[in-house]
Amino acid sequence: MSRHYDVDAVRKEFPAVERMVYLDAGFQTPLARPVKAAIEQFLREGFETAGPKSVWLDRVEQTRAKVARFLGVTADEIAFTKNTSESMNIAANALPLRDGDNVLMIHGDHPNNAYAFLNLQRRGVEVRFIPMTEVVNAESFRPLIDERTRAISMSHVTFHAGHRFDIASVGALCAETKLYFVVDVMQAIGVVPIDARAVGASFVGSGSHKGLLVPQGLGLLYWDKSLNELEPAYLAAASLADIPGDLIARPDRMAPSPTAGRFELGNFNLPAVHALGAALDMIEQIGVENIQSHCFDLGDHLIARLDELGVSLVGPRDRKHRAPHIYVIGLPASDWLGHFEDNGVRVSPERDGIRVSLGMFNTADDIDRLIDVISKRGQGRPSVAA
Ligand SMILES: Cc1ncc(COP(=O)(O)O)c(C=O)c1O
């Protein structure tokens, strides 16, 4: 049941979630029928005709337009990449940073974001970390800003405890203090509405294998096209404003594309891009706000049931600060993961407990089955912080 959409109908599109209690959407999505159909269409076309490449590339542009609409931006501001890590590295290396400049990040944020910037230490760039707390907003970063601070990079939603940080206030701070703002939305996208322009991001990076419902190997990068000074560290023909018609490279005609295509390299992961088009249609049909509201409701139910059991929640409890769909429960993974596996419940081990992550297909029944599996064994077992 959902107050927001027909979750039973949605659930039928994800056969895997009928075979187990799937509470691991933050790890990877189960495949939905329309997504599988898009990949199968690509395979069929390649198999039978060696591929109508122009049709395939038209689909890439249609998907780009859908991604842009989804993020509140224009299609010429969207590049396809391989994954979040590649998007964050492209962003980090496009920023005009010099020896002695500094970038602010959150300690304990996702390593695929952190390493992209830590790697700039080789160029003399300093990375300064603020502590991770339940509430991170503009005021958390402000004290560390000095005359050599050039950028802030952070996750919108944390993978390890489900914080949902106030990126709008951090974006406003970056506008006020003239910093670049880079946001990793990998855990947020597809569940939490994102308006990249309203947030004031310079770059937004993500992969697609969680809330965007497609298999691994496809990433996204939003680039604010008014920041024309941000140029790609890598170059291929498609990155150029003026691709030579005879395909003979010319050292004197290397201006980057005026679009986010400047950050794209070579051929695309076509089946995944086509699959993303189908996934975005599904998400838009339901409405990302509805998915968010549904997950919040399930989260409220989970928290209430954990309270009854006396099992703690590791991350934020308040809707204002928590992600709708990521909850870490205070049961040590080393002791509990096998028990969940044995009982057909898919969850992830995390730093401070067991991560339950929700998708558009989950129901209150899934939560109740999880709780039954905990209580079946629960009495007398250690919990992390109850
Ligand atoms: C916040 C965040 N960033 C990035 C990633 C993954 O990076 P990539 O898409 O490069 O595999 C994850 C999880 O897999 C994540 O939770």
Residue 72: domain span: 35-284
Last residue of a domain, one of 268, 284, 300: 284
User: What total number of domains does the chain contain?
Assistant: 2
d(CA 190, CA 213): 8
pTM: 0.96
Last residue of a domain, one of 222, 250, 284: 284
SS3 132: coil
Ligand 1 binding pocket mutation candidate from 112, 154, 160, 218 (most atoms within 8 A of CB): 112
- Say how many Å lie between the CA of residue 84 and the centre of ligand 1: 6
Same domain, 196 and 314: no
* Shortest-distance atom of ligand 1 to CA 219: 9
Look at residue 268 and tell me if it is in a domain: yes
For residue 379, name the pLDDT band (cuts at 50, 70, 90): low
22-77 pLDDT per residue, tens: 999 999 999 999 999 999 999 999 999 999 999 999 999 999 999 999 999 999 99
Tell me the CATH number at 317: 3.90.1150.10
266-280 pLDDT per residue, tens: 999 999 999 999 999
Same domain, 235 and 150: yes
Residue 283 has pLDDT above 80, yes or no: yes
**Among protein residues, the one whose CA lies closest to atom 6 of ligand 1:** 84
d(CA 182, CA 357): 24
**Among protein residues, the one whose CA lies closest to atom 12 of ligand 1:** 186
The conformation of residue 349, written as its DSSP 8-state character, comes to E
Helices (H) and strands (E) in the chain, counts: 13, 12
154-205 pLDDT per residue, tens: 999 999 999 999 999 999 999 999 999 999 999 999 999 999 999 999 999 9
**Among protein residues, the one whose CA lies closest to atom 3 of ligand 1:** 186
- Say how many Å lie between the CA of residue 244 and the centre of ligand 1: 36
Same domain, 315 and 268: no
Same domain, 305 and 265: no
Same domain, 278 and 135: yes
Ligand 1 binding pocket mutation candidate from 81, 82, 84, 269 (most atoms within 8 A of CB): 84
Ligand 1 binding pocket mutation candidate from 187, 204, 220, 276 (most atoms within 8 A of CB): 187
- Residues facing residue 357 across a β-bridge: 24, 326
Tell me the CATH number at 197: 3.40.640.10
Same domain, 306 and 215: no
d(CA 23, CA 340): 11
Same domain, 202 and 268: yes
- What does pLDDT average to over the chain? 96
Same domain, 136 and 269: yes
Same domain, 85 and 53: yes
> What is the mean pLDDT of the segment spanning 315-320?
96
pLDDT at 386: 45
Last residue of a domain, one of 266, 284, 302: 284
The tokens describing 117, both together, are 């910037």
Same domain, 169 and 204: yes
| Ligand 1: lining residues by beta carbon, under 6 Å | 83-85, 110, 112-113, 155, 159, 184, 186-187, 207
Same domain, 99 and 18: no
